[in-house]
Amino acid sequence: MTSELILAIDQGTTNTKALLVDASGRVLHQASVPNIVTYPQPGWAEQSATALVDGVKTVIAEVVAKAVEANIAGIGISNQRESILVWDAATGEPIGPVVIWQCRRSAPKCDALRAAGHAETIEAKTGLALDPLFPAAKIAWLLDNTPGARARAEAGELRVGTVDSWLLWNLTGGQTHATDHSNASRTQLFNTETLTWDADLCALFGVPQNMLAAVKSSDTNFGLTAEGTTALPAGTPILAMIGDSHAALFGHGVRTPGTVKATYGTGTSLMALTPSRVRSTHGISSTIAWSQKGQVQHALEGNISVSGQTAAFTAELLGLADAAALSALAETVPDSNGVSFVPALVGLGAPYWRADARGTITGMSLGTKPAHLARAALEAIAFQVADVYSAMEADMGSPLGELRADGGASRNPVVMQFQSDILGRPVAAAAAPEVSALGAAALAFSSIGISMPGVPAAGHFTPAMDADTSKKHRQRWQSAVTQTLATQNQQNSGGTP
């Protein structure tokens, strides 16, 4: 067994983590710091760019302090996707916040492009539905709402990037502005057929191409750490960069089509490899999973905007300490007693793509108790995953099998069992909680010719609910979603619900 180690950085929405991993996938040391998300206006969500970098430096320092004389061969980075920022090319100073993936401030730009008839062209080139989730319209917003930014961008004075690019820029002391195929494919500016930044898309969104990062294979040596940027020695190579959801799929050890994984985080991402580029007709995104040695692997993905965050939100709403307390309350009742909670708190993502939708609770009666709402909140996580799974299955044209699960909710047996019940499929929950970070480590190891095994499953759940009961649950959920969208349609038209 090699003695070389990889330092995996997982820069997520809620936390930034660093793990020191050996080639067997064993985590030797780790550290984590929380990240702050602010909501300056309804539908807006942002983070501090400098705070994200500071968090990365902190967790690296903690791990390095624990691992004296460790043979760290390099760094692998997984990152929250679709979050975007703009910075000064000369000073490296951000000109505004990180506009994160949940933010809906760019909805008017998307609406204007849709009204002008551009949605089909955008989706055909990128595989992504026109939605504020994706960065392109957010970049336009930053340039148009930051004094002088558009003129400076056109003059070549600014750089733009997803969080991986921002971390790379800082780790290399401003020497490297690059990204990988997985992150580029999520920007809505990258043509996933030609594998290039698309001039027509840049023109549509109003993004100068000179701001954009070089796009490289996910397992590229992206650059070397600069002196004084972190606690690591100068010259430590950054061996891999990959979006966090893609890294989770890689971390599960999935290398061929047929298996679906769901990463349950603030939102949830379902992803399945495809033999080639597939255009979805059921509200799912076509994306690039990763690239190795220049060879691109395509995938289908469904993004749910609010998933695990549903539990935290509902816990606060009910005056409970945390999501664990919510789960304990939910377990005191056998079901939700007909209550459905559609957590469209920042809109509905796949397969509905309704940025304007807002959360609803339906089916309440005088018999409704707080425990029923708690149960409905947990069920909502599984229902949304089932919607995306079904749409993905329709796009694939053949039945899909086991669901590989990771992330916070994958450690909740109530959610996982209900997930298996309504899918009618086995669910395998990962043994390790940090599958995205381990995927980044595995990709970094692969770049230096070392094969790291996939994360094994610890929890196995099989359907225990009869088909008729499962069908009734799905129908109740679909009725609640229909009511949610109908209510929003009435509000949009000026009517009274």
Please give the chain's pLDDT, 497 residues, in tens: 458 999 999 999 989 999 999 999 999 999 999 999 999 998 899 999 999 999 999 999 999 999 877 889 999 999 999 999 999 999 999 999 999 998 999 999 999 999 999 999 999 999 998 989 899 999 999 999 999 999 999 999 999 999 999 999 999 999 999 999 999 999 999 999 999 999 999 999 999 999 999 999 999 999 999 999 998 999 999 999 999 999 999 999 999 888 899 999 888 999 999 989 988 999 999 999 999 998 999 999 998 989 888 999 999 999 999 999 999 999 999 999 999 999 999 889 889 988 889 999 999 999 999 999 999 999 999 999 999 999 999 998 888 889 999 988 999 999 999 999 999 999 999 988 889 999 999 999 999 999 999 999 988 999 999 999 999 999 999 999 999 999 888 888 776 54
Residue 485's contacts (CB-CB under 8 Å, 6 or more residues apart) are 348, 352, 354, 357
- Residue 334 is classified by DSSP as S
- Residue 374 is classified by DSSP as H
CA 415/CA 410 separation, integer angstroms: 7
Q: Which residues of 31-54 are buried (b: 16+ CB within 10 A; e: fewer)?
A: bbbebebeeeeebbbbbbbeebbe
| pTM (two decimals) | 0.89
- Residue 321 is classified by DSSP as S
What are the strands, taking DSSP E only, across 163-227?
178-180, 190-191, 196-197, 214-216, 223-224
- Residue 233 is classified by DSSP as P
The size of the chain, in residues, is 497
Exposed, middle or buried: residue 345 (CB in 10 Å: 0-12, 13-18, 19+)? Answer: middle
Q: Would you say the C-alpha torsion 309, 45, 269, 221 has a positive or negative sign?
A: negative
**pLDDT value of residue 2:** 56
Nearest in space to 15 (alpha carbons), one of 63, 47, 44, 61:
47
Task: Collect contacts of 174-177 with beta carbons under 8 A, ≥24 apart.
Answer: 174/92, 174/226, 175/223, 175/226, 176/222, 176/223, 177/213, 177/214
**pLDDT value of residue 188:** 97
